[in-house]
Amino acid sequence: MRVRFQLLLVSALVLAAYYPAIFAEFNQVDDIGMIRAIEHQDTLSLKSLFLPGYGNGLYYRPLLGLSFYLDKYFWGLNSSFMHLENILLHLLNALLVFFLSRELVARQEVGNTYIPLICALAFGLHPVNVESVSWVSGRTDPLALVFILTAAILLIRFRKTGSVRYVAASALALCCGFMSKESALGFLLGGALFIVAKVEEGGNARGNAVSKSLMVLAVAGAGVFFFFFRSSAFISNKSNIGLTLQYWEISPLYSFMLILRSFGFYLKKIFWPFPLNFAIVQIDPLYELMALPLVMLCIWILWRRSLLSAVFVAGVGLIIPSFVIAFGQIAWTPFSERYVYMASAFIVTAAVHAMHQLFERWEQQPRISPFNGILQLSVKNLSRPAPLARWKWAFVPLFCAALVGTAQRNLAWCSNLSLYADTVKKVPDFNEVRNMYGIALYRSGDIAGAEREMAIARSLYSFVYDEKFDLNYASVLREQKRYQECLEVLQKVVKKTKGKSILAYEELIHVHQGRLVECPPSQRQAVVASIMDASDRLYALEPSAEVHYMLGKIALSLQESGRALKYFAKASEKFEQGSPYKAFAIKLMKRAKISNV
Domains of the chain, residue spans: 3-362
The least confident of 75-79, 299-303, 519-523 is 519-523
pLDDT for residue 382 is more than 50: no
Q: Contact, 121 vs 107, CB < 8 A?
A: no
Which of 24-38, 93-107, 553-567 has the lowest average pLDDT? 553-567
Q: For residues 393 and 396, what is the distance between their CA atoms, to the nearest angstrom?
A: 5
Whole-angstrom distance, CA of residue 267 vs CA of residue 149: 19
Q: Which of 55-69, 88-102, 489-503 has the lowest mean pLDDT?
A: 55-69
Q: What is the pTM of this model?
A: 0.88
How many C-beta neighbours within 10 Å does residue 116 have? 26
User: What is residue 374's predicted lDDT score, i.e. its pLDDT?
Assistant: 40
Taking each helix axis from N to C end, the angle separating 395-412 and 115-124, rounded to the nearest 10 degrees, works out to 20
Mean pLDDT estimate for the chain: 87
Assign 371 a pLDDT band (cuts: 50, 70, 90).
Answer: very low
CB 185 within 8 A of CB 226: yes
d(CA 525, CA 528): 5
Determine if the peptide bond prior to 397 is cis (ω within 30°): no
113-132: pLDDT as tens digits:
789 999 999 999 999 999 99
